[in-house]
Amino acid sequence: MNIQFVDLKAQYNMIKKEIDATINNVLSKGIFIMGPEVLSFEQEFSSYIKVDHAIGVASGTDALHLALIACGIKPGDEVITTPFTAPATTEVIKHCGATPKFVDIDAKTYNIDPSKIEKKVSRKTKAIIPVHLYGQSCDMDAIMKIARKYKLKVVEDCAQAVGTEYKGMKVGSLGHVGCFSFFPANNLGAYGDGGMVVTRDEQIAERVRVLRLHGSPEPYRYTVDGFNSRLDALQAAILRVKLRYINEWISHRNEKAIFYDQLLIKLEGISIPYKEEGNRHSYNYYTICVSGNKQWRDKLLIYLKSQGIHAVVFYPNSLHLQEPYSHLKHKKDEFSVSEWYQDRVISLPIYPEITKKQLEQVVDEIRSYIIRQGAKK
Ligand SMILES: Cc1ncc(COP(=O)(O)O)c(C=O)c1O
């Protein structure tokens, strides 16, 4: 058995004709930097998210970095975020010279717990980065209420959440800025790196446009020190093809998730992902939680791998205890919810093309492990 975590070849094979044609088209035109493909993808992506501006950049990390600079984050500022995320979310705060202020997560959604944010707001706080983890939206009403009260910018980290909806609106359109990643394994993945900043704020959009092009609003005029952070024309062309399928793919992911739910709910010691009523989960990852401890979870991962099933832990180490943040002197158990889940979550294979038989095989192997090990150890 070989069930990959994501199967990018299966997706390519489904849309091979269109992808090959668009790549050939870019090659024959010879425009690889900026140009019509990037512009068209930006327009199409902004209408998909329902925002006024979308600016293609080199990666999701750059999207966050440029968005923070465009929001005026500077040395000495503090930015509130979750410790249960990818390092990209917090490293960019430090690259601005600012400090991440961690807030623990909610036990149901694994996203930042809004009820714990206000205590962390200080005079230095300038922004909040809510991360829509695994494809599930944060509680944006609660977050925006706090942001309005303290005049904070909200930079949504939507790296795992293309197509996720909160109360009928796409994430990325709820805060002041939304940042997307087109990492190949994501819901909407490029064939390399890519990212996008979206916003309704004309000033922020213009700053990001200038920052991504060496600080240049027009050829050979430079207004700030910028970056080389452009989305490649080839990636933009590929993403334009894939964007046409995104709604269909997210529906497939939801169907697969429901099927997993139905099978896994019968297993002792396994919790299926919580899904907030009224929101649309995009299941970038399908993440279960085990009631056993870290050792039990890690042995399950090894067992699944031995059976040819590739599951992954996002994230085994909460960021507040990682080396780059040691100067903040956080202690073990300080963010106990995040630390509890880092030892117990597992993301199972999910992608639009995965078959029901494969999902059954994954669950069968989890069941055999439970029978052999006992539900809790
Ligand atoms: C939550 C989160 N934020 C930001 C990023 C950074 O995106 P990229 O890899 O495109 O730079 C990732 C990447 O996986 C992520 O998962």
Mark whether 183 and 292 lie in a shared domain: no
**Is residue 2 domain-resident?**
no
Last residue within a domain, chosen from 215, 243, 271? 243
**Is residue 3 domain-resident?**
no
What does each of the 377 residues of the chain score in pLDDT, given as a tens digit? 899 999 999 999 999 999 999 999 999 999 999 999 999 999 999 999 999 999 999 999 999 999 999 999 999 999 999 999 999 999 999 999 999 999 999 999 999 999 999 999 999 999 999 999 999 999 999 999 999 999 999 999 999 999 999 999 999 999 999 999 999 999 999 999 999 999 999 999 999 999 999 999 999 999 999 999 999 999 999 999 999 999 999 999 999 999 999 999 999 999 999 999 899 999 999 999 999 999 999 999 999 999 999 999 999 999 999 999 999 999 999 999 999 999 999 999 999 999 999 999 999 999 999 999 876 65
Please report, in angstroms and rounded to a whole number, the separation of the first and last CA atoms in the chain.
27
Atom of ligand 1 nearest to the CA of 157: 3
Last residue within a domain, chosen from 224, 243, 262? 243
Return d(Cα 199, Cα 117) in angstroms, integer.
23
Amino acid identity at 224: V
Distance from the alpha carbon of residue 375 to the mean position of ligand 1, in angstroms: 33
Number of H helices, E strands in the chain: 12, 12
Into how many domains does the chain fold?
A: 2
Domain that holds residue 297: 246-373
- The 3-state DSSP class for residue 113 equals coil
Distance from the alpha carbon of residue 86 to the mean position of ligand 1, in angstroms: 6
What's the CATH code of the domain at 294? 3.90.1150.10
Catalogue the E-assigned strands of the chain.
Answer: 53-57, 78-81, 99-102, 125-129, 153-157, 165-166, 169-170, 177-181, 195-199, 270-271, 286-290, 345-348
Distance from the alpha carbon of residue 182 to the mean position of ligand 1, in angstroms: 8
Atom of ligand 1 nearest to the CA of 186: 14
What is the best residue among 181, 188, 227, 313 to mutate for testing ligand 1's pocket, by most ligand atoms within 8 Å of CB?
A: 181
What is the distance, to the nearest Å, from the Cα of residue 281 to the centroid of all Cα atoms in its chain? Answer: 12
Pair 363, 349: CB distance under 8 Å = no
Ligand 1 interacting residues, C-beta cut-off 6 A = 59-61, 85-86, 88-89, 131, 157, 159-160, 181, 183, 193, 195
**Is residue 347 domain-resident?**
yes
Return d(Cα 225, Cα 213) in angstroms, integer.
10
